[in-house]
Amino acid sequence: MLALLVSALSPVGAGADVKGAAKRLDNLRDRPERLRQFLRGMPKGTDLHTHLSGAVYAEAMIRWGAEDGKCVDTVTFASSFPPCTGDQVPLTAALTNTVLWDQILAAWSMREFRPDAFSGHNHFFATFDLFGSAFSGRQGDGLAQVTKRAATQNVQYIEPLITPQFGASLAIANQVGYNPDFATMRLAMLNAGITNAIPAAEQTATAALDRRSDLQGCGTDKPDPGCSVLVHFDVQVLRNQPPAVVFAQLLFGFELMKADPNWVGMNMVQPEDAFYSTSQYNLHMRMVRYLRSVYPDAKVTLHAGELVPGLAPPSDLRFHIRQAVNIAWADRIGHGADLRWERNPDQILRRMKRTGTCLEANLTSNQQILRLYGRRHPIRDYVKAGVKVTLSTDDEGVSRTDLTSQYVKAVRQQGFGYRRLKQFARNGLRCAFLTPAEKKAALTDQATRFRKFEARFKSKQN
């Protein structure tokens, strides 16, 4: 039965080298350690859905926070800026107190977490507020860690999500207020000076890239392999906010993308089952659609359908993917997990195929947060429908995973074969928010990487 499934979900491929690599993978399906070694070396193209703060492992955040004089609460394990008061102690204490160290790791990630139906969801999203202060000021260090990890897994390009200048957007939103006439509200926010924060947001990206370059010795005679990984940023908008605040963030993000090529995409984050996320979902999609009409060259990827029954009422599971595709005209969606509960999912899939809307599939986080894995996960539905699917990590530091693990799950839990994994890797670059020249160069580079990788298995076939 598994063989039939693999055959049905594998794209056509030719050549002795491809056949050799495919045969090698099939021989390793039930040997997880060897399978991981094989997939670690396989070219993977991209990680398109990765939140920068969530991609960093907690161990690094503890050390950076300690170096920066940050504090941690010994009851809640929330990090904070000094001075340390009450139950707070310097984070340096965790460097010599192994019990505190382990407690912080457990609170700041899914380390050894055993979720029940929904506590995995709650624990996962709670981590960001806990480690936020420890990570503050270390985006460049985090980027160096993430790109180094990507390079060791044969990844060419990543699109980390960062929230730029939230305070500035919040201030403008509070000053202008909400107006259901989007054009009037946009003009009022522009007149109030929302674009004044663009230089600071540009500096955020530049400083992170420069710090990463310095740490990795990029441009020197002995650069770290991470230097080879191309980086652009996506703007992440906090959606669980009042409407004026969401619109201000969206507007700022679209203006930022127009001004700075380091920022290439727009996304909306925070749990989809949160109050504003659900009650204002249609409004948010209409905001995105309006702004896309004003900024037609901008790219949009949206968290859509990161839900399962119980997290939200059944009525809220029926339209999130549909509206992200049909109303907001998303170029990509992330997760798409509630597909089977959506109204007329086959129609959605046909629409996504027709419009070229891509899916960023996050297998580990869907399992940890939603308990959605194996046959319960809809990834095979997207593949069968001809939707362009690519694998990504979501928050590899919080989840304690990496991109290779997503490929392992695609083989062992979903039954995919080598040719399909290769298609996932190609799709990543095809769906990436790259310039035409960057995309052409990246696809050419990927083809070379695949030829070299597959040549190792030619003799295995002949």
* Tens-digit pLDDT profile for residues 366-409: 999 999 999 999 999 999 999 999 999 999 999 999 999 999 99
**pLDDT score for 115:** 66
Instruction: Report domain 45-55+139-450's class.
Output: alpha beta
Whether residue 417 contacts residue 23, with contact meaning beta carbons closer than 8 Å, is answered with: no
How deeply is 146 buried, as exposed, middle or buried, from its count of CB atoms within 10 A (0-12, 13-18, 19+)?
buried
Q: pTM for the full model?
A: 0.94
Comparing CA positions, the residue from 245, 266, 244, 246 lying closest to residue 255 is 266
Describe the chain by its helix, strand, coil percentages, rounded to 5.
Answer: 60, 10, 30
pLDDT tens digits for range 351-366:
999 999 999 999 999 9
Find the helix or strand (DSSP H, E) in which 160 lies.
Answer: strand 155-162
Higher pLDDT, 71 or 11: 71
Six token digits for residue 327: 């109303």
Strand order in the sheet with 389-391: 301-304, 332-335, 358-361, 389-391
Identify the bridge partners of residue 57 per DSSP, sorted by sequence position.
none
Q: CATH 3.20.20.140 residue ranges in the chain?
A: 45-55+139-450
Percent residues over pLDDT 90 in the chain: 93
Could you give the 3-state DSSP secondary structure of residue 152?
A: coil
> Phi and psi (nearest 5°) for 235?
-75, 125
Token pair, residue 210, equals 């420069």
CB 217, CB 125: distance < 8 Å: no
> Does the pLDDT of residue 459 top 80, yes or no?
no
* Lowest mean pLDDT, pick from 5-14, 36-45, 155-164, 376-385: 5-14
Q: How are beta strands 71-73 and 79-80 bridged, if at all? A: antiparallel
State the pLDDT confidence band at 94, using cuts at 50, 70 and 90: very high
- Residue 112: pLDDT band (50, 70, 90) is confident
Contact 133, 65 (CB under 8 A): yes
Q: Is the separation of the CB atoms in 418 and 25 below 8 Å? A: yes
Residue 423 scores a pLDDT above 50 = yes
Q: Which residue has the tokens 């969606």?
A: 333
Would you place residue 113 in the very low, low, confident or very high pLDDT band (cuts 50, 70, 90)?
Answer: confident
- Whether the per-residue pLDDT at 59 is higher than 80: the answer is yes
For residue 119, the model assigns a pLDDT of 84
At 462 the pLDDT is: 42
Tens-place pLDDT, residues 202-252: 999 999 999 999 999 999 999 999 999 999 999 999 999 999 999 999 999
DSSP state of 222: S
